[in-house]
A and B are shown apart, each in its own frame.
Chain A
Amino acid sequence: MIKLRKSDYEKIVAHAKKEAPVEACGLIAGELEGGDKIVKKVYILTNIDHAEEHFTLDPREQLKAVKDMRAEGLIPLGNWHSHPVSPSRPSDEDKRLAYDSSASYMILSLMEEEPVLNSFHIEGDKAEKEQLVIADE
């Protein structure tokens, strides 16, 4: 299970809508509790591809985020990105570039009026949806 605060979910949605039709992206960090991931902080990073169907996290911002996580005692849990006009599921490219099987890959779809956020465990070309809980706090 991966738990995300509602305020962090809203932060992701707001930024993704602002960036659309360009893909938005960022990092998630937090804590492990048993087998569960608790997201404590969502980072918004620049998509240096500035593209509608691709994203690459800005490495300089990534470095800054990693240092911030360390300073706050958080561990990297994965990343998130938006699919402005396609479903919330990993594309072939998402799977090919998901090097870390311990990470959670969150994908926000804006293709329908109501945004859809899913989190995936990706290993090789296999992607499994994780149980995502969006809680008030």
Chain B
Amino acid sequence: MKITVAGVSKEVAEGLTVAQLVIDENVEMPQYVTVTVNDDFVEHDSFEGTVLKEGDSVEFLYFMGGGAV
């Protein structure tokens, strides 16, 4: 099936989960990554249980923050 990852169309296996996609895409420091599927935010504890579907659009957003101290 085809999905879009960070704006790029990709052919992936049926039944692919967000957790497996994070691994396949070599996402660095996944603990700091927020994932959206079709603009819906997926909680980290739902990565394993979120199965992607044909036409889904996935984005990886890195946490960005800091502080003055």
Contacts and interface: CB of A to CB of B under 8 A. Distances in A.
The size class of the interface chain A forms with chain B is 20 to 34
A55 B68 CA distance: 9
Interface in B46-69: 59, 61-69
A5 interface: no
A62 B60 CA distance: 10
Interface stretch (A8-16, A31-39, A78-86, A128-136): A78-86
Interface size class on chain B is: 10 to 19
A97 B68 contact: no
A52 B69 CA distance: 10
B39 A90 contact: no
Contacts, number: 69
Interface string A12-31: 00000000000101010000
Contact of A49 (B34, B59, B65, B69): B65
B64 A62 contact: yes
B28 interface: yes
A131 to B, nearest CB: 22
A59 B61 contact: yes
A49 B67 CA distance: 10
B40 to A, nearest CB: 10
A57 B67 contact: no
Interface of B: 7, 28-29, 32, 34, 36, 39, 41, 59, 61-69
